[in-house]
Amino acid sequence: MSHSDDGQITLIISNSIAELQKVVDFVDNFGAANNIPKSLTNDLNLCFDELLNNTVSYGYEDQSEHSIAVTLSIVDGWLTAKIKDDGKPFDPRMPGAAPIDGTMQTRQIGGLGRGFVKALMGAVDYERKSQYNVLTIKRKIAEH
């Protein structure tokens, strides 16, 4: 874990599902240290679970170990989270979410996570920087 001068804190994990618990703890500790409402840290953990599961499961064409950086910060009342990975280019803002019609038995698997993340967070942004995906999600921290 590293801290920067601009208030960001970063956790580096490997591309393994087993590493996701570290992210949950990271978010919970950051939330507690910054008096972020538990409901917001829970929502952020749900988003990270979805996004990082997809990155680990589908983002790499090889079996090698890769590093994924998860960065948290608070800027102007917004909780900002970034995921930076060297996986295949993938912009989760692009259309392609699975239709939600049909029953659980007839609907195709997949595609709901992107809509889920957009619904829980106030903003979703993506850019490809060199060989890296950089996904930024933000949500306004509610005033108590």
CATH number at residue 121: 3.30.565.10
The DSSP element (H or E) to which 18 belongs, if any, is none
Is pLDDT of 85 > 70?
yes
How large is the angle between the packed helices 38-58 and 112-120, nearest 10 degrees?
Answer: 150
Burial of 6 (0-12, 13-18, 19+ CB in 10 A): exposed
d(CA 38, CA 124): 21
Please report, as a single letter, which amino acid is at residue 135: L
Q: In this structure, what token pair is assigned to residue 100?
A: 């939600």
pLDDT of residue 72: 98
Backbone φ and ψ for 49, nearest 5 degrees, come out as -60, -45
Average pLDDT over residues 20-39: 96
Q: What is the DSSP letter of 133?
A: E
Which pLDDT band, with edges at 50, 70 and 90, does 90 fall under? confident
For the chain, the average pLDDT equals: 86
Q: Around Cβ 117, how many Cβ atoms within 10 Å?
A: 20
Domain count, the chain: 1
- Estimate the crossing angle of helix 38-58 against helix 20-33, to 10 degrees: 160
Segments forming the whole domain that contains residue 18: 2-140
What pLDDT does 4 receive? 58
Query: Which two structure tokens, joined as six digits, stand for 19?
Result: 């590493």
Average pLDDT over residues 118-140: 94
